[in-house]
Amino acid sequence: MLFGQDEANKIMSIAQNPVMGKMAKSFANVNTYVHKGQNVISAKAFNRKDKNTEAQQSHRTSFKLISDVWASLGGFGEYGFPARPEKLSAFNVFMQLNLPNAIDSSGDVPVIDYTQLKVAKGTLPGVDDVKAELNAAGISFTGDTLFDFPKALATDVVTVLVKKVNGALKTVRQARGDGNTFTVQLAMPGITAADVEFVYVFVNSADGTKVSNSVYVPVV
């Protein structure tokens, strides 16, 4: 009788004693069964694969953290990845970019590093030197339009995304314009820096087919 190498390694013995009859039971670390008319006794696996290792738990936690951010973006997540392989969804690209790159695993549990998170990726000129300032009406954003860069157009659309901690996403969109700087006011009366989970800014072409890289904006 011939067995493959893996099967041969597991088999302890072949019993041909007619007194024992057909064997098909399991006990202790032993399995018994009939193979081609012969009783076979084999050892059970002593070291079963643990599907709940620390690394696997960390990966599942990280996956949920990043996918929760995607869910919080609503439809605006789609704006961030218009140019992508046909077989990939915007969600697929977002997860590939940010898992594990936007995960900080230096502590006891994984957390998101928002400075590394990408909510848009492309080749369109974006905006630069974006600053956020809290005021009585909410948050004011200023920055350089990079209007004089090649392929940058006044009709391009600047998108600002602000996510509150345990709250909804707030957004404002406006044209890049033909000036050197832009200003955006987002109405969020009474907001504090501690209320803000993240802020990102990116630019789409007017037809939505192109996008810039996203910029993380700290609020302090």
Per-residue pLDDT of 109-135, as tens digits, reads 999 999 999 999 999 999 999 999 999
216 DSSP β-pair partners: 200
- Tokens 């200023």 correspond to 142
pTM for the complete prediction?
Answer: 0.77
Token digits of residue 114: 């928002």
pLDDT at 1: 45
pLDDT at 54: 85
Query: Which residues in the chain are classed under CATH 2.60.40.10?
Result: 54-216
- Among 197, 176, 201, 172, residue whose Cα is nearest residue 187: 172
Q: Please name the residues in contact with 86: beta carbons below 8 A apart, sequence gap of 6 or more.
A: none
CATH of domain 54-216: 2.60.40.10
pLDDT at 21: 55
| Residue type for position 2 | L
